[in-house]
Chain A
Amino acid sequence: MEGSRHVVHRLLRFVVYRFIGVAGFPILDRKTGNLICKVIVVPWKGRLRVIGLPDYLPVRLALELPPRGIFQSTVISAALTDDPDYPREARLESL
């Protein structure tokens, strides 16, 4: 019983992600313009549920004002963070 439920979940997940891959909204990196992923957004209990963001990618969402508009609105944009590139501050005896 548990096993068949697991199979159904996996199948459902596969179908939904396939659908998102084809019909989802493209999310572009605001810094580079590259496609990060495709998502669908579902209103859910007073919040917005975003389905399709990749698990391991560091996607930073930001609220922005659109340049000009007829209606008051807010833009939610996305960008991948840069790789860490901080200088060494520890003192190493081997160097």
Chain B
Amino acid sequence: MRVLNAILTHQPAENVDRMAASWHQGAASDEVLILYGGMLADFESIKHPHKVFIQDSRLRTKHHRLEKQSYTEVIRAIAGNLATFSHVLFAEYDLVPLQQTAVVHAAYLEKIAEQDADVLFPVVHEVQATCQEVYLPYAFEPAGLEPIRDLSTRSDRGTVLWALLPGSFWRSEALSAVAAVEGEAPVYFEIYLPTLAHHLGFRVRPLTDPRFKIFGGKPFSRASILGLRDEGSIVIHPMKDQWNGEIV
């Protein structure tokens, strides 16, 4: 089994190269794919050879939820680089591995087998008919979700999932199937991608393991890394400044 580390970033080139080198420890040269959502000039300065520039304007939003930010082109770019990989670990720059890449992969592979899942998200909730903040706009505008429901293989077409994407782990077949869907519903990606994977018939489960410290809240500090690494934590998120200078 081979795992592709697909990492979305918009940081300056030198930060990206530091990050790629960190993910690269113990991995083959093509196992780290940089997906770049920043400026083209910065992209061209990145030395890491396995990289893709994401052109999509729906990735570069300011008010992400209001403008319904999309990761669809990111997912399609990953699918285009999947040739020999059985799984994909999707990360953003602020997800930091605390162990060697092989250890990170082994932990994810163990969890996906344990759950018999096709996609693991660090956090995933069923949100239809709830007052969850990201879902609420679609409760009053259900037509936005219709293109997903039209593709559904499920008996209950009303299920809506919300998930945290950084740190998600996909079987290649599930990611390719999501990427192959033509067009795109006008839905924020944290709802669109998990809901689409579910309705295409894939088994979506949460990554329930305290060693994966992946949250949507207050960033971790550089000072906290050493203790977490010694405790056996696998990855942490969010940590915004890990690649700014000397790596902790």
Residue A28 interfacial (CB < 8 Å): no
Instruction: Please state if B126 and A94 are interface contacts (CB–CB under 8 Å).
Output: no
Residues in A59-84 with C-beta less than 8 Å from chain B? 59-61, 81-84
Q: Output the nearest chain A residue to B216 by Cβ-Cβ distance.
A: A56
User: Secondary structure at chain B's binding surface: helix, strand, loop or mixed?
Assistant: loop
Q: Output the nearest chain B residue to A88 by Cβ-Cβ distance.
A: B203
A53 to B132, CA, bound (A): 9
Report if A83-B126 is in contact (Cβ < 8 Å); known contacts: A53-B131, A56-B132, A93-B173: yes
Q: How far is the CB of B1 from chain A (nearest CB, A)?
A: 9
Q: Which B residues lie at the A interface, using CB under 8 A?
A: 86, 116, 118, 123-127, 129-135, 153-154, 159, 161-162, 171-174, 177, 198, 200-206, 208, 216
Complex interface: chain A residues within 8 A of B153 (CB): 89-90
User: Secondary structure at chain A's binding surface: helix, strand, loop or mixed?
Assistant: loop
Complex interface: chain A residues within 8 A of B204 (CB): 84, 86
A84 to B124, CA, bound (A): 7
Complex interface: chain B residues within 8 A of A81 (CB): 125-127, 130
Complex interface: chain B residues within 8 A of A60 (CB): 129-131
- Chain A: residues with Cβ within 8 Å of the partner, total of 22
Residue A2 interfacial (CB < 8 Å): no
A56 to B132, CA, bound (A): 6
Q: How far is the CB of B195 from chain A (nearest CB, A)?
A: 10
Q: How far is the CB of A2 from chain B (nearest CB, A)?
A: 16
Q: How far is the CB of A24 from chain B (nearest CB, A)?
A: 16
A6 to B133, CA, bound (A): 21
